Amino acid sequence: MTKSKLLASLLIAASAMGASVAAEAGSLGKGEVAKLFPGQFEAKVKGYRVAFSGERNGALSGEAYGQQDQGHWYMKGAELCVVWTKWTDGKPRCGEVSQQGGWYVAHDGKGEMLKFRRTDVAQN
């Protein structure tokens, strides 16, 4: 898998994160996901690390292994959707978000897509 496709998967998963604490298995709602932004994040996708920032207006900016990309996030019902210009070829990746042990984990119908956590302490 190419780094570009890996990064796309990572940020797609970021769009599908949610819930509460490790013991809580429910998905985060639209309002709870929106409260994560603005912020700085670290994501893991198939063993790769990606640093990205997300704005309240939906703007995304990311960098991984010397590659940078721009995109946006939005909510589609209970799913967080992420679109990156290069990493996802402009196609949305959507999934429900839950929180597990300090990480936000996005799941689509096929399993875990993305795992991310805040790297800042910004107040929303």
Q: Name which of 40, 58, 62 is nearest 50 in CA terms.
A: 62
- Residues near 111 by beta carbon (within 8 Å), at least 6 away in sequence: none
Say what percent of the chain tops pLDDT 90.
45
The one-letter code for the residue type at 114 is L
Q: How confident is the model at residue 16 (pLDDT cuts 50, 70, 90)?
A: very low
pTM of this prediction exceeds 0.95: no
Rounded distance between C-alpha atoms, residue 66 and residue 51, angstroms: 11
* Higher pLDDT, residue 123 or 91: 91
Q: How confident is the model at residue 111 (pLDDT cuts 50, 70, 90)?
A: confident
Rounded distance between C-alpha atoms, residue 117 and residue 39, angstroms: 10
Q: What pLDDT sits at residue 46?
A: 72
CA angle 99–24–83, rounded 5-degree value: 30
Phi and psi based region of residue 85 (left: phi greater than 0; alpha: psi -120 to 50; beta: remaining): alpha
